[in-house]
Amino acid sequence: METHPILVVGSGPAGLEAARSVAELGHRVVLVERSLALGGAPIAENYAALTPDLDDAETAMNRMIEAVRTDPLVDIRTSTTVVATSGQAPELAVTMKGPKGEDSLTVGAVILCTGFQHFDPGRETQLYGYYEHDDVITLVDAERMLKAHQFVRPSTGQPPRRVCFIQCVGSRDRQIGNTWCSKVCCGIACKEAIEIRQLVPDCEVFVFYIDMRTYGFWEDQVYWRAQEEYKVSFIRGIVTEVTKRGDTVVVKGEDTTMGRPVEVPMDVVILSVGMEPSVGTREMAKLFDLPLEPHGYIATVGGPLNPVATARPGIFAAGAATGPADLEDSISMAGAAAVKAAGFLRKGLRKAG
């Protein structure tokens, strides 16, 4: 007995892996992506290299994209959004709106991989002067330059002599309402620091942090490597203000290890912006009638022993749609969600048969 296809929403690392996994199990998949291009944030935001292995992000993502593109079990719908649903899995009707208008189909199960968006450092806080100073950029802006193999001071186009990262911008911050840690920014800052030192060997690089959260193997793979091999300076401190003096951006704060105020002129300041639930994540939660957890991501209901089940049977979520996630998390959760979705259909078949 044939089952309905499994719907995967979102085509970042989690969505691509979920689609590939479902197809690997022999099920049909409909992969819906609101953008024109597959690949999610790593492609849309021009990631340079992956953490921790510094593999080229575009090449790695293209391998994943190619795998779903060439799989006859995967029906790819780009520039398409889900606009309505009715019924229950394994007989869930979804209406999609794409380039050729609206289309309806019945799906057996759903995997939501709608991911995150980066915190907007101009929102609710003028502290860091992101919109005031050209030389204050984000982790994401830095990726774009690193991908082009050219790291410059935006205001002059010249190589910088001194660059710093400010960690936890939009994370661990009750005032702006984001109480969570975004998990990946410490590792990514270390990775970008290494890349900047590779591209501009004369440039001094500093990282202002609260706690360096380079968990697991990231500890020596990127944190120690940045310190020892690339001479990046890590300063435990709180940045209280980023201002401009003449042509230079000045970072003021407190070095909490030394217990003294610091005031350092920088050519480029990189804000390590955290993760927030994406617009797509919030929209799909609403559309599929899924409760959110207290931080605003899609709530999973199984605790640490079942991280992909949502409150509705047959609807699963993977990756940063459920909270801050690194690449390994997103990929692993996608596989786990594929098993649950396929198992859900199989259970339905056994009952029906």
Site residues for its own copies per CB under 8 A: 13, 17, 21, 24-26, 50-53, 55, 60, 63-64, 172, 179-183, 211-220, 224, 236, 256-259, 293, 295, 303-308, 323-329, 331-340, 342-343, 346
Report the alpha-carbon angle 178-214-61, nearest 5.
Answer: 85
Cβ closest to its own copies, residue 96 vs residue 139: 139
Question: The tokens of 121 are what?
Answer: 């450092």
User: Which of residues 242 and 298 has its CB atom nearest to its own copies in the complex?
Assistant: 298
Q: Which is nearer to its own copies, 21 or 80 (CB)?
A: 21
Q: What is the dihedral of CA 135, 139, 140, 144, to 10 degrees?
A: 70
- Give the number of other Cβ atoms within 10 Å of residue 124's Cβ: 14
**Helices and strands of the chain, counted as H and E runs:** 8, 17
In this complex, which beta carbon is closest to its own copies, that of residue 9 or of residue 50?
50
Residue 344 contacts residue 27 (beta carbons within 8 Å) = no
For residue 304, the minimal CB distance to its own copies (Å) is: 4
Give the nearer residue to its own copies in terms of CB position, either 11 or 21: 21
| Residue 277 CB, nearest approach to its own copies (Å) | 12
Tokens representing 65 are 């994209």
Question: Is 43 or 327 the residue whose CB approaches its own copies more closely?
Answer: 327
Least Cβ distance, residue 323 to its own copies (angstroms)? 6
Q: Which two tokens stand for residue 333?
A: 């959760």
- Measured from the CB atom, the residue of 120 and 219 that comes closer to its own copies is 219
**Any idea which residue has 């005032």 for tokens?**
175
Q: How far is CA 163 from the centre of its chain?
A: 24
We find the least distance from the C-beta atom of residue 302 to its own copies, in angstroms, to be: 9
> H helices of the chain, where?
13-24, 40-44, 57-69, 139-147, 185-199, 218, 279-287, 327-352
Min separation Cβ 308 and its own copies, Å? 7
CB of 168 to its own copies, least distance (A): 10
CB of 340 to its own copies, least distance (A): 7
Give the whole-angstrom CA distance, residue 6 versus residue 19: 9
Q: Which are the contacts of 60, defined by CB distance < 8 A and separation ≥ 6?
A: 42, 50
